[in-house]
Structure 1
Amino acid sequence: MVVTANSSTVQHILKSHFHIYQKGDFLRTTLFDFLGDGIFNADGDNWKFQRQVSSHEFNTKSLRKFLENVVDTEISERLIPILSSAAANQTVLNFQDILERFAFDNICKIAFGYDPAYLLSSLPEAKFAVAFEDATRISSQRFNSPVPLVWKIKRALNIGSERKLREAVGEVREFAKEIIKEKKQELKENHPLTRLSRFLSSGHSDENFVTDIVISFILAGRDSTSAALTWFFWLVFGNPEVEKKILEEIKEKSESPVNDEVKDMIYIHASLCETMRLYPPVPTDTKEAAEDDVLPDGTVVRKGMRVIYHPYAMGRVEEAGPRICLGKEMAFLQMKRVVAGVLRRFRVVPAMEEGVEPVFMACLTSKMKGGLPVRIVERLQDSVQRGHTPN
């Protein structure tokens, strides 16, 4: 294999020679039990089709609907009350878990018109959400196996982690199929189209294929934004001068309409970009050469070799630029609303011993090992305690 953080090489494999570098057999085999033929595990025409249909959803109208009808409701009716209660009761929250629940509700509602109600004040242990987390974690662990034959034998014998993975994937797929069943019925009744409905109405009604699509949507919508926001709030706490500028921008833009407010939050946008430079939601990505090739630096790549590019390392190389994501604008709009909604009312204070820092853990997406324990402090209360006159 080749591992790289060279920007010219990454452009080579992702753009100019994209047709050569595919997901490949290694990645597909490792993730197939969980992701099937979903977009993260697909190549060729299958990948192009899923990307094309998904792209229809990322337009101005859908973004506005996403913000106004889903994100703001989830913030005001679920996230803020939980944080207010934690502040009043001086409760320690696992903020990574809170943000994952928030993102999970959002992606299910916007993509499928289904509300799992995972971010309730009781913080329920929803069976599907737990199964989804188990499936993500164990699938990621397969990559760490020094000999893939080990996990394949465990899968064949249905023992250990592979047995747990099979159970978790079964639970996830059963949930996805129930959503698909509901959407098919809604299509018959001419209900408004969701992102899932677009796939169903495009003529691809094979249950297993559409199930793969549902799982990929949830993975993309839950794990990426929640990972970025978790690291963001940790970094903001350690950089009070940045927090001050963020609060100034929130106050300045607070009179604007929702869309204009988040669009014009340039400093928050830059702070989120800096967070993802240091702690990218997807820390590594793997491609497999479909034919012999030579990389820009002269490295010879033979057919079947894996080429792994490393965004975590690239973020620490000055000449590496940003990567474009299909859902980038929607993700930024969501994250900005969360940042503004939370920080205008609360301080998020990590509840760790002094000198202890979170451990970066690379799964399919980046996480904090063990989560991010925090205390929530109302800004008005905090200002009074410090002897300041609140603005």
Structure 2
Amino acid sequence: MLAELLASFLFLISSMIFILFTGGNKKRSITGGKQGVPAANNTVSADPGLLPRSYPVIGSYFAIYANRDRRVQWLADVIRSSPSATFILHRFLGQRQVFTANPAIVHHILKTHFHNYPKGELLRESLHDFLGDGIFNVNGDTWKVQRQVSSHEFNRRSLRRFVETVVETELSDRLVPILAAAAEDKATVLDMQDILQRFTFDNICKIAFGYDPAYLLPSLPPGEFADAFEEAVLISSGRLNSILPVVWKLKRVLGVGSERRLRLAVSRVRDFARDLIREKKRLIAEQSTTNEEAAVEVDILSRFLMSGDYSDENFVIDIVISFIHAGRDTTSAALTWFFWLVSQNPDVEREILEEVHQLKSSGGGDGSGTAVFDETRDMVYTHAALCESMRLYPPVPVDTKEAIVDDFLPDGMLVKKGTRVVYHPYAMGRLPELWGSDWAEFKPDRWLERPGDASSGGNGGGRGAPGRKWSFVGRDQYLYPVFQAGPRVCLGKEMAFLQMKRMVAGVLGRFRVVPALDKGREPEYFADLTSKMKGGFPVRIEPRTIDYSGN
């Protein structure tokens, strides 16, 4: 705390001196344009009222500090004010950071010039104590090998097993009984965000590691690991978004404050992952001794351990933590905001229920695994509603790359070596130029096509629910990079959709999820590494008069 106060005091004094003797920039010019926007090659002055004012040496420190509690929303506002959907944020000591919601630029950094925009050193250093050299924090050959090994677990057979056994069991044996108990006691208020994190945590551990943490039990047991994981995410994110990185680096050297808490949290998380790995090694050794092929279910962790190339236990721990982060935090974030949006749009909820009912009716509703898997795949309207929810609240709201050589972006902007380039899915989902003047409305129909509609250039992607005359129309992945795009596009995209759709059908088919917020109050958006609701999502559960689940 003392080190942080001293650094902040010295910085503030130097800032005031420069302000007294220098003038700030009142207006900047930004070149280029975004996909589908006229006058892309013209130089246009951005709205000076929204662009953060920059001063010598300290850059836009005051604007960054003033918006530190709503960083994602503020940056989205600034991006929208720019005719090119791209602007430069001036930071301390002349550092420049490019923020963009321009699909052409996203395509440029994620595909055509992919090798010039890896994970930057600042991002790697900020997250390394937590994620280490796991797949989401590395580049080059280390990333390629992890991706190649992991990709074997995302085939059709694994996806079917995931839905038929893992998700279905977690849903029917744990989640539904908890919600049913809450529905019986009208005074019960659940934190749906916490429930969803428990649900996705159990699921990712089962499918990726063959381990059941049983975190979603009726007692909702306190989880030392989950608490430590949450703190590690929060502090690591604070590092990445720090106005003065020197502060957290000094605290790390001194072992005080948030850095001390991070060290303790990461230690608990790594102990959990280490125990999981050693148990898996024991089972694999036992299998090889007894020659019992069924002794170990092949999963992602087994593949890494049995490959023989991962003798470094710490490296395997990094891999485990990265997959827990992806499987727990991103999917639960998507579902949390989805349930909020559906609760505010009863017409959408009715369409989802009608789809679930028709699929159950046409499929016989025999409860077999095959029926469950096929029904889940065919939930076209629900798929569209999830896409629409993630447009407004992408699980990962921003993503950072760093140029390793000088480069020109498609709009003509020069990016010098070492410059961080941040694409902003949260802002992209709110641009009227990309989504129309009704961008603020929650409209799953914008993802659907009916006979007679003009082609939207989509990829089809669904047979349509029985009796329905629509199909899903996907969007260009560089216009909608919610699952990243290009070579690093999310391996678990289909798995995430299957999990979410099955969970939505199982929950909404039986219950109404009713926000327990004060009248007129909405959830407060908060982002660390993923999009969350600050303080959780309190809800009451009400039973449906008609059970649409088919059970």
| TM, length-normalised to structure 1 | 0.96
**Residues in 2 aligned to 1:60 and 1:178: alpha-carbon distance in whole angstroms:** 30
Which position in structure 2 is the counterpart of 1:41?
137
Which position in structure 2 is the counterpart of 1:340?
505
> How many percent identity over aligned positions?
66
**Residues in 1 aligned to 2:306 and 2:547: alpha-carbon distance in whole angstroms:** 52
Alpha-carbon offset, residue 382 of structure 1: 11
Which position in structure 2 is the counterpart of 1:199?
304
Give matches, 1:296-307, under 5 Å. Answer: 296-307=410-421
Alpha-carbon offset, residue 160 of structure 1: 1.1
Which position in structure 2 is the counterpart of 1:127?
224
AA partner of residue 101 (structure 1): R
Which position in structure 2 is the counterpart of 1:216?
322
Higher relative contact order, chain-length normalized (CA < 8 Å, sep 6+): 1
**Residues in 2 aligned to 1:95 and 1:299: alpha-carbon distance in whole angstroms:** 44
Could you give the per-residue CA deviations for residues 175-194 of structure 1, whole angstroms, max 9, x where no partner exists?
Answer: 10111111112222332321
Alpha-carbon offset, residue 114 of structure 1: 0.9
- Asked whether 1:28 is paired with 2:124, we answer yes
* Structure 1: gaps (5+ residues): 384-391
- Asked whether 1:5 is paired with 2:170, we answer no
* Structure 2: gaps (5+ residues): 1-96, 288-295, 364-370, 435-477, 482-488
DSSP-derived class of the 2:532 partner? strand
DSSP-derived class of the 2:507 partner? helix
The one of 236, 240, 255 equivalent to 1:139 is 236
**Residues in 1 aligned to 2:344 and 2:222: alpha-carbon distance in whole angstroms:** 31
DSSP-derived class of the 2:115 partner? coil
DSSP-derived class of the 1:57 partner? helix
Query: Which protein has the bigger helix share?
Result: 1
Which position in structure 2 is the counterpart of 1:386?
none
**Residues in 2 aligned to 1:381 and 1:254: alpha-carbon distance in whole angstroms:** 14
Which position in structure 1 is the counterpart of 2:440?
none
Which position in structure 1 is the counterpart of 2:527?
362
DSSP-derived class of the 1:348 partner? strand
- Asked whether 1:259 is paired with 2:402, we answer no
**Residues in 2 aligned to 1:87 and 1:245: alpha-carbon distance in whole angstroms:** 23
Give matches, 1:262-273, under 5 Å. Answer: 262-273=376-387
Give matches, 1:270-309, under 5 Å. Answer: 270-309=384-423
**Residues in 1 aligned to 2:536 and 2:359: alpha-carbon distance in whole angstroms:** 31
Could you give the per-residue CA deviations for residues 288-317 of structure 1, whole angstroms, max 9, x where no partner exists?
Answer: 111111000001011111000000001123
- Asked whether 1:77 is paired with 2:173, we answer yes
Using the TM superposition, name which of 181-190 and 84-93 deviates more: 181-190
The one of 35, 51, 56 equivalent to 2:147 is 51
AA partner of residue 343 (structure 2): F
Which position in structure 1 is the counterpart of 2:286?
189
- Asked whether 1:321 is paired with 2:418, we answer no
**Residues in 1 aligned to 2:330 and 2:232: alpha-carbon distance in whole angstroms:** 16
**Residues in 1 aligned to 2:378 and 2:331: alpha-carbon distance in whole angstroms:** 20
Which position in structure 1 is the counterpart of 2:345?
239
**Residues in 1 aligned to 2:149 and 2:408: alpha-carbon distance in whole angstroms:** 33
- Asked whether 1:180 is paired with 2:277, we answer yes
Alpha-carbon offset, residue 205 of structure 1: 2.4
**Residues in 2 aligned to 1:193 and 1:58: alpha-carbon distance in whole angstroms:** 12
AA partner of residue 343 (structure 1): L
**Residues in 1 aligned to 2:492 and 2:115: alpha-carbon distance in whole angstroms:** 22
Which position in structure 2 is the counterpart of 1:387?
none
Q: What is the Cα-based RMSD across aligned positions, in Å?
A: 1.4
User: For this pair of structures, how many residues does the alignment match?
Assistant: 383
**Residues in 1 aligned to 2:504 and 2:126: alpha-carbon distance in whole angstroms:** 35
DSSP-derived class of the 1:248 partner? helix
